[in-house]
């Protein structure tokens, strides 16, 4: 996610609106209530408009798009644009639709979610309980790195990857997602483990349990909530990434976002708006589904990731 909330947070602050509204407000002054609802529904319309236009456009034929307005409902709804977007549209040299991009994005997202979560959990655990020397300084630099534009690091990383012989491959893009996902993942787990009582850790130590044993037997089993939050953040971020996939994934593994942009911005000839919009919805479908399905968890992730003073 380009606008990725990161920074230093307390562990899992309650999501917005999980508490009941604090103060009973007077409902007497009617005109004000009408004003409130008028404002909110206008705003809601503005926010929903692009989604609506995307959907209706993707269901029209090109003739109908030329003939009717952008807001008109489809007269003869067709799924043909969806079929084309999925299996025949040109995403550059190849014309096999977005399904290859979808497959690539899945192949990138799965390891780029699991690996950063695992390493973030180990980092957070080591930082909160073992407190090795210089670790906090290291963590501080890592967090500062989260705010630096990738353009500052991208070319040296390309050279290093080329030197290691992995540039333009699946391992390269996963590794880069690990590097740029690490601040957020480490932060989430560090803050989560900071709220775990130290006594629990001390007791395990007294019993003779070592670093990995405590991590695997005690810490991981109680980390499920934060793992869910971390997974939501990482899946959304990796799936929506454009710039890293473009540079590091290589021609064979280009993610869906890059192929979508190719479909729309590099094709010549008549623009098939209906296919374009179907392709856009298809690409946005995974994070949107995750958002609508996870509801409060998504908001919780945002709140947990946002910098708390």
Partner 1 sequence: MKRTLTPYAALLPMFVTVLVGYIGSAVWTLGMSMTASRTFPSSRFIGLAQYQRLFDNERWMLSLHNLAVYGLLFVVACLVIGFLLAVFIDQNVSGEGVLRTVFLYPYAMSFVATGLVWQWLLQPGDGIDSAVRALGWRDFRLDWIVDQDMAIYTVVIATVWQASGLVMALMLAGLRGVDPEIWKAARLDRIPAWRVYLQIVLPMLWPTVATVLLLLATAVVKLYDAVVAMTQGGPGTASEVPAKFIMDHLFLRSNVGLASAGAVVLLVPVLALLAPYAYARSRRAAA
CB of 48 to partner 1, least distance (A): 6
Nearest Cα residue to 204 out of 129, 148, 92: 129
Specify the length of the chain in residues.
309
CB of 230 to partner 1, least distance (A): 15
CB atoms within 10 A of CB 11: 17
| Shorter beta-carbon distance to partner 1: residue 8 or 196 | 8
CB of 221 to partner 1, least distance (A): 18
CB of 110 to partner 1, least distance (A): 18
CB of 7 to partner 1, least distance (A): 7
The distance in angstroms from the start CA to the end CA of the chain is 22
309/8 Cα distance (integer angstroms): 8
75/67 Cα distance (integer angstroms): 11
Q: Return all residues near 264 (Cβ < 8 A) that are at least 6 apart.
A: 271, 276, 279, 280
Residue 270 — left, alpha, or beta (φ > 0 → left; ψ -120 to 50 → alpha)?
beta
Residue 184, CA distances (Å) to 64, 246, 250, 288, 303 in order:
46, 22, 25, 21, 12
Q: Does residue 244 contact residue 167 with C-beta atoms inside 8 Å?
A: no
Q: Does residue 11 contact residue 247 with C-beta atoms inside 8 Å?
A: no
Q: Does residue 142 contact residue 214 with C-beta atoms inside 8 Å?
A: no
CB of 297 to partner 1, least distance (A): 12
295/120 Cα distance (integer angstroms): 24
CB of 277 to partner 1, least distance (A): 7
CB of 137 to partner 1, least distance (A): 9
Work out whether the CA dihedral 235, 237, 239, 244 comes out positive or negative.
negative
| Shorter beta-carbon distance to partner 1: residue 108 or 122 | 122
């Amino acid at each position: 996610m380009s606008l990725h909330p990161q920074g230093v947070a307390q562990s899992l602050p309650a999501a917005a609106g999980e508490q009941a509204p604090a103060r009973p407000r007077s409902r007497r002054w009617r005109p004000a209530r009408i004003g409130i609802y008028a404002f909110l529904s206008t705003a809601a319309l503005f926010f929903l408009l692009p989604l609506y236009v995307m959907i209706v456009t993707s269901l029209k034929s090109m003739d109908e798009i030329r003939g009717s307005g952008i807001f008109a409902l489809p007269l003869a709804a067709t799924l043909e644009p969806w079929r084309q977007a999925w299996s025949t549209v040109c995403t550059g040299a190849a014309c096999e639709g977005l399904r290859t991009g979808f497959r690539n994005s899945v192949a990138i997202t799965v390891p780029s979610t699991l690996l950063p979560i695992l390493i973030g959990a180990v980092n957070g655990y080591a930082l909160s309980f073992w407190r090795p020397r210089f670790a906090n300084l290291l963590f501080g630099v890592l967090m500062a790195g989260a705010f630096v534009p990738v353009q500052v690091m991208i070319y040296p990383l390309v050279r290093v990857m080329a030197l290691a012989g992995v540039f333009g491959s699946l391992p390269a893009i996963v590794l880069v997602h690990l590097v740029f996902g690490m601040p957020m993942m480490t932060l989430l787990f560090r803050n989560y483990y900071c709220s775990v009582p130290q006594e629990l850790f001390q007791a395990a130590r007294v019993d003779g349990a070592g670093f990995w044993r405590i991590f695997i037997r005690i810490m991981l089993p109680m980390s499920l909530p934060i793992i869910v939050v971390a997974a939501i953040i990482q899946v959304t971020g990796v799936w929506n990434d454009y710039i890293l996939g473009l540079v590091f994934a290589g021609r064979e593994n280009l993610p869906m976002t890059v192929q979508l942009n190719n479909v729309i911005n590099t094709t010549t000839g008549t623009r098939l708006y209906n296919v374009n919009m179907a392709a856009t919805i298809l690409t946005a479908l995974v994070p949107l589904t995750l958002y609508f399905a996870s509801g409060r968890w998504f908001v919780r992730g945002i709140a947990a990731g946002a910098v708390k003073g």
